[in-house]
Chains A and B, each alone.
Chain A
Amino acid sequence: MTNPPLSPTRMAAIGMDQRQRNALHMLFSTKCDNRYVLMEEDASEICILDLDVFGGERLWEEFRERHPQRPLILVSLKAREISDDVTLFVEKPIPVDRLIDAIEQQRRHLSAKIEDLAQPPPPDTSPRLAEQAEQPDTQQPPRKKRTARKAASLMSESMEWAFVGTSPDIDPKDPQQLAKIYYNPEHYLQGHMQLALNLAARHNKNVGVEGPWPAIRLYFEGRKIRVSAEERQLRPYCTIPDAILKVPLRFLDEEENAAGGAREYSIDAFHWQLALWASRGRLPKGTDLFRPVYLRRWPNFTRLVVTPYALAIAALWAEQPRSLIDTAQTLNIPQRYVFAFYSAAKAIQMAGETRCAADTLPAPSAVEKPKHRGLLRRLMGRLRGDKKQI
């Protein structure tokens, strides 16, 4: 099996006018063989920021507030010392080779983070050994104290970044901000996989999804998907809109039906992950922020990527439909976690908008504070601390 062509890295240019953007576009398409593609900031993986533009320092500050972990390349006439490990500096006039070196360095940094994500935790399938059980507590490394907010997730920052993004909360009454929170699943691999699933269901047959990636095969009856690609090879097609425009689907022949040896996912787990990658904390186009959403049933969380606060959101929606905005407010959590969870749950048809308008349903009740909340929090902290050591 040959490797697929290297997928483009999504770049954004901040504080640059159209002329500079055109220059970058030309550089990427000619000298760099389209290894990089210029996009809007929200969809980008690496950003280049011109500090010499009016208000450049403030742009930098605001960028870091929005995206504390996103790789950044600063350019300026004035040399500077950079103290964080996700920012590089290139002095103007910019030598093309230095800029490409810096981009490549950031891309490697990014790839390392993504590869970390692709590594599953070592399976703990062996029966518990007596000697493990007998280890006294004192041999355990001291656990760091975690705040309640931090304790809501065991996901590393890089995992959160890949699955939930870093978008700040929006004011839903501001049309400009509102426009930023939507994505169209049809423009990503998520949409193509949905078409494949529809085709397989209609004909009750197994379907192959063709593309520049190693084989993706959907086995409808067994509810499985086998993928010959590594996650890092697939991910760009899941995160860049229209990275591939045509994805031919075909029924598998007998030999392919029997083929094994590839990485296997349940259909739901695969679809869930594609939706998280595509959404990165955004919502499918057309979702009404104020219409109550329902949870059809609890997702099978032990076999899915669990995003921060996903269980809390599921528990809330299991009690009563609530709007996305109300959910974020009630749980006092950033909107992107609610949006990411909804996008993934909707992709596997576990959640959707109610047909009734908000004002025709009983008003969502306030979450009652149980008398044991402190205890439950401490127990949750312990469980998460334990899981981190698995």
Chain B
Amino acid sequence: MNDYKIIFSGPVGAGKTTAISAISDIEPITTDELATDMTRIQKTGTTVAMDYGMIKLDEEERIHLYGTPGQERFDFMWEILIQGGIGLILLVSNNRPNPFHDMHFFLDAFKEFIGNSKVVIGVTQMDLINRPGIEDYHLQLEDSGVKIPIFEVDARMKKDVSLLVEALLYSLDPGLDG
């Protein structure tokens, strides 16, 4: 059996659990617990270990969808989760106090992994707060020398999450359809 992983990461409340639910073939396994610290402001339940979903390609092949814990105090998990990952989907909430800081923090935390694979960014909750805009996120990354796909995303919508994954796949292999 061949198993591959796509990693979903991002800060608390960015929609990782919801996004995995949107495209998973199985009911996602979520190890949420009631938040007891500062994360309570962001959401009532937060992922402390990981989210897990799966896309079955056939009997032999599966794509595992892993959501990293949003809280930095669980970042020891991140290194374990990314092993064998084919790419990173970073979700950033526009409704958090400093979404640019969040984006830079996670891009930096996964720098090595991204260097060996690819990343796409989904900005969530833009329906609640539409500033900064997608253009502003691109400007933040202008000096990085790479052009990362950044899309406005409603994590509840399968279409949006699927497009994020598609952009990741084409970033890995533009000649996919050839």
Q: Which residues of A contact B154 (CB under 8 A)?
A: 125
Chain A residues with Cβ below 8 Å from B2 are 375
Q: A133-B28, A301-B151, A316-B174 are in contact. Are A379 and B167 (CB under 8 A)?
A: no
Binds A, one of B43-51, B56-64, B89-97: B56-64
Q: Tell me the minimal C-beta distance from A342 to chain B in angstroms.
A: 15
Output the least CB separation between A313 and chain B (Å): 8
- Cβ-neighbour of A370 out of B23, B28, B172 (below 8 A): B172
Chain B proximity of A341: nearest CB distance (Å): 13
Contacts of A223 in B (CB 8 A): 133
Known interface pairs A133-B21, A315-B171, A373-B173. Does A300 touch B151 (Cβ–Cβ under 8 Å)? yes
Known contacts A382-B55, A382-B57, A383-B165; A127 and B156 CB within 8 A of each other: yes
Verify if B103 is at the interface (C-beta below 8 Å from A).
no
**Inter-chain contact B176/A300, CB cutoff 8 Å:** no
A372 to B56, CA, bound (A): 16
As a 0/1 sequence over residues 330 to 347 of chain A, the CB contacts with chain B under 8 angstroms (1 = contact) are 111100000000000000
Bound complex: CA A373 to CA B177 (Å): 10
| Smallest CB separation, A300 vs chain B (Å) | 5
Contact at B147–A133, with CB atoms within 8 Å? no
B163 at the interface (CB under 8 A from A): yes
The answer, yes or no, to whether A247 is at the interface (CB within 8 Å) is: no
Q: Are A379 and B147 touching (Cβ within 8 A)?
A: no
Chain A CB within 8 A of B101 CB: no
CB distance from A102 to the nearest CB of B (A): 38
A378-B57 CB under 8 A given contacts A312-B176, A367-B175: yes
Contact B174–A319 (Cβ < 8 Å): yes
Question: Are A302 and B152 in contact (CB-based, < 8 A)?
Answer: yes
Task: Please give the distance in Å from B163's CB to the nearest CB on chain A.
Answer: 5
Please name all residues of chain B whose beta carbon is closer than 8 Å to the beta carbon of A311 when the two chains form the complex: 163, 166-167, 170
Interface residues on B, range: 35 or more
CB within 8 Å of B: which A167-197 residues: none
Contact B162–A386 (Cβ < 8 Å): yes
Instruction: Tell me whether A128 is interfacial, beta carbon within 8 Å.
Output: yes
Q: Taking A298-B149, A375-B57 as contacts, is the C-beta distance between A121 and B170 under 8 angstroms?
A: no
B78 to chain A, nearest CB (A): 22
Given known pairs A124-B159, A125-B157, A390-B158, the reply for A379 and B169 (CB within 8 Å) is yes
* Segment 16-42 of B: residues with Cβ below 8 Å from A: 18, 21-28
How many residues belonging to A are interface residues under a CB distance threshold of 8 Å? 54
Q: What's the least CB distance linking A127 to chain B, in Å?
A: 6
Q: A121-B159, A386-B162, A387-B158 are in contact. Are A130 and B27 (CB under 8 A)?
A: yes
Which of A137, A367, A373, A377 interacts with B25 by CB under 8 Å? A137
> Which residues in B have their C-beta under 8 angstroms from that of A390?
158-159
> What A residues does B170 contact at CB under 8 A?
311-312, 314-315
**A203 located at the interface, meaning its Cβ lies under 8 Å from any Cβ of chain B in the complex:** no
B86 part of interface (Cβ distance < 8 Å): yes
Q: Is the interface of B mostly helix, strand, loop or mixed?
A: mixed
Docked-complex contact A312 and B134, CB < 8 angstroms: no
| Chain A residues, Cβ within 8 Å of B58 | 378
- B115 interfacial by beta-carbon distance below 8 Å: no
Closest A residue to B122 by beta carbon equals A302
Q: Residue of B at shortest CB range from A333?
A: B177
A302 touches B159 (CB 8 A): yes
- List residues 7-27 of chain A with CB under 8 A from any CB of chain B: none
Is B153 located at the chain interface by the 8 A CB criterion?
Answer: yes
Closest Cβ of chain B to A377, distance in Å, is 6
Contact A301 B167, beta carbon cutoff 8 Å: yes
Contact with B along A108-145 (1 / 0, CB 8 A): 00000000000001011111101001100100000000
Write out the residue numbers on chain B whose beta carbons fall within 8 Å of the beta carbon of A303. Answer: 151-152
How far apart sit A377 and B86, CA to CA, in the bound complex (Å)?
Answer: 13
A355 close to B (CB within 8 Å): no
B81 on interface, CB distance cutoff 8 Å: no
Contacts of B61 in A (CB 8 A): 375, 378
Q: Is B4 an interface residue (CB 8 A)?
A: yes
Cα-based distance from A227 to B4 in the complex (angstroms): 46
Given contacts A302-B163, A382-B57, contact A376 B173 (CB under 8 A): yes
Q: Tell me whether B27 and A133 are in contact (CB under 8 A).
A: yes
- Cβ distance A267 to chain B, nearest Cβ, rounded Å: 11
| Chain B residues with CB under 8 A of A316 | 174
User: Would you give the shortest CB distance from A386 to chain B, in whole angstroms?
Assistant: 6
B138 at the interface (CB under 8 A from A): yes
List chain B residues, Cβ under 8 A from A373: 173, 175-176
Q: How far is the CA of A74 from the CA of B45 in the complex (A)?
A: 66
Q: Could you list 5 further interchain pairs (A-B, Cβ under 8 angstroms) beyond the known A316-B174, A372-B4, A379-B55? A: A151-B177, A302-B159, A311-B163, A375-B61, A379-B169
3 residue pairs, one from A and one from B, having the closest CB atoms: A367-B175, A315-B170, A318-B147
Give chain B's interface residues, CB within 8 Å of chain A: 2, 4, 18, 21-28, 55-58, 61, 63, 86, 133-134, 138, 146-154, 156-160, 162-167, 169-178
Instruction: Give the B-binding residues of A (Cβ under 8 A).
Output: 121, 123-128, 130, 133-134, 137, 148-149, 151-152, 223, 295, 297-298, 300-303, 306, 309, 311-316, 318-319, 330-333, 367, 369-370, 372-373, 375-380, 382-384, 386-387, 390
